[in-house]
Structure 1
Amino acid sequence: MLTPLRNAYYLSLPVVFGAVLSNRMAARLSDVTPIHWATPLVLALVVFIIYTVDRLLDIRKPSGPATARHRFHRHYAPLLWRVVMAAAALAFILAFFLPGSVIKFGLVLGGICAAYIGAVFRLPSRHPALLLKEPLVAILYSAGVWGSVWVQRPRVSGIEIAEFLMFLGIAFQNLLLFAIMEKREQSGKREFSLATEWGEERSDTLLRWLTFAIIATGLTLCFVTNDRFAQRSAIMLALMSLTLYGIQRYPAYFLRNERYRWLGDAVFWFPALVL
């Protein structure tokens, strides 16, 4: 039986909320104050639209994923398409209130996202280009969160770039971890992803080294900057990566009732700890 909480989870609302919180953290770190009031609203709407449309197109493929989230989207597809159209209309209206630099950035990034979604839908199910899905989604998600802030200021510091790279690594860690867990969930069905092509051992090794690099970067930043907020946010980003590593370390526990999805998406709420 569906509950409001599970519906919110299927609709990727935790990811949407996490994007807004991360954007607020990036704004405070970059000293863009006040951030334009429409920026987080448009960001939330765009993230929701991209994630929803991606799944609505997935379910139109004969060999599309058969997860509970995709079954939800298949069942409510007509309603969700209407919601997407309403969200797109609202985002279009709000865009007129944004600074010109944010509008230009949004048009470029939105065009890239649209091209990506269209390509993924049209490519054959085992096309080699689909192996780029995890890194591309991580880059687009991170660029939307941080880029919408950076275009509102004249320069970006090295500390900000370092924390952006930490966030980008966490986004990729999240997506690759989910691909590994989905592979374990559906052992009888071979999905085409980095996790299946690289194999679990190689993917696990990469994730361990990625976690180490993110934590090491976070600790290093604590010693090279006197900015207290930058220090707190660096530690918080390191904790995000460490939490994802905990899911990777105990897969049997987190596979039950899709716990890995709940906690894996919830790590993007961690910026609330420092705001």
Structure 2
Amino acid sequence: MTPLKHFAQYISWLSIDVAIGAMAGMLFFEELLGASLHWPAYVLLGMAVWSIYTIDHLLDVRNKELPLSPRRAFHQSNWKPLTLVLSMTILIGMIGAFWWFGWGKELQLTLVLTGLICGSNLLIRKIGPGWMKELSIAVFYVVGIVWLPLLRSAGLDLVWQSVIFLPMYMGIAFLNLLMLSFLDQDEDRTVGFFSAALTLSPILLIQLIRRLAFGLIFISLAGFILLSSFYRPFACIILLMALIHYLTFFQKGLNTERKRMQMEVSFLLPLLLYFL
């Protein structure tokens, strides 16, 4: 493996690509809603998303002795240093949030949202079907990245044309998680991880993935054609993200890690809006 591929693999294992993708998603909604955010908001979001994903990975591999994928084996073998870095990230993030927001309405509402997300995820893990985990993560992921742009947007920008991109982005996140669940189903079944692949048959899961992908491609293409010129770049980005997911997932000859990395890279496409 070349040094560049080795570096990219660690970026993926550490969920750094996911954190950067969330920051790109915040830019998507900042531009869409006409909000005005500064760099601390992006840094804090990246730290929060990385912390949530790292907590999830560390909880998954704790006390697991069965064979794990290279990604999960990495988290298991580096459990202590990752826990230390995670603790420092959470502490710095809390201090940074208080320093930047102050004890105002935005921080208070954000803490309430965080509590709702954590509580809902715990409840779904206990009593919900597997697919609810993927759906809830997709919903809360998009709510998290749109939260500040929504709070700081001008009321005039909250029209139906901009609001329809919210469920579309949730659809992309849900599609990504369903695809990853399918790719990881053997390990999830062996080790007992909670996922959609454990409650849906492979045929039903593939059908759901195809229908969701085709639906997103059709809706984003319709948006590109029918909406005004301002919204076309946003529709184009959703369309490209859906196409990359579909073509990557159904491409033969790619291993699971390669498919995962290519699909996660698609979440960086909103960064193109910075140059438009």
**Smaller-chain TM-score range?**
0.7 to 0.9
Shift of 1:30: 0.6
Does residue 29 in structure 1 map to residue 32 in structure 2?
yes
For residues 200-239 of structure 1, the C-alpha deviation after alignment (integer angstroms, 9 at most, x for no partner) is: 21111111211122122212223443243x2111111111
Counterpart-to-counterpart distance in 2, 1:131 and 1:226: 35
* C-alpha distance 191-41 of structure 1, shift in aligned 2 (>3 A): closer
**Corresponding position of 1:171:** 173
Unaligned runs of 5+ in 2: none
Q: 1:72-221 maps to which residues of 2 (within 5 A)?
A: 72-96=74-98, 97-98=100-101, 100-116=104-120, 118=122, 123=126, 128-155=128-155, 156-183=158-185, 192-221=194-223
Partner of 1:261: 260
Q: What TM-score do the two structures reach when normalised by structure 2?
A: 0.86
Counterparts of 2:195 and 2:32, CA distance in 1: 34
What letter matches 1:73 in structure 2?
H
Secondary structure of the structure 2 residue equivalent to 1:253: coil
State whether residues 58 and 65 of structure 1, in contact with CA within 8 Å, keep that contact through their aligned partners in structure 2: no
Question: Partner of 1:274: helix, strand, or coil?
Answer: helix
Closer, same or farther: CA 93–57 of 1 in aligned 2, 3 Å: same
Aligned residue identity for 2:137: V
Aligned-pair identity (%): 25
Which deviates more, 201-210 or 106-115?
106-115
Alpha-carbon distance in structure 1 between the residues aligned to 2:59 and 2:266: 27
TM-fit CA distance, 1:101: 4.3
1:180-213 superposed Cα distances (whole Å, 9 cap, x missing partner): 1112677867754222322121111111211122
Contact 1:32–1:149 at 8 Å: present in 2 too? yes
- Measure the CA separation in 1 of the matches of 2:23 and 2:89: 16
Give, in angstroms, the shift of residue 102 of structure 1. Answer: 3.1
Against the structure 1 CA distance between its residues 219 and 262, is the aligned structure 2 distance closer, same or farther, given a 3 Å change threshold?
same
The aligned amino acid for 1:24 is L
Q: 2:244 corresponds to which residue?
A: 243
CA drift at 1:65: 7.8
Could you tell me whether the CA contact under 8 Å between 1:101 and 1:152 is conserved in 2? no
Q: Which runs of 5 or more structure 1 residues have no equivalent in the other structure?
A: none
Q: Is the 8 A contact 1:131 1:192 kept in 2?
A: no
User: Which TM-score applies when normalising by structure 1?
Assistant: 0.87
Q: Distance in 2 between matches of 1:64 and 1:119?
A: 26
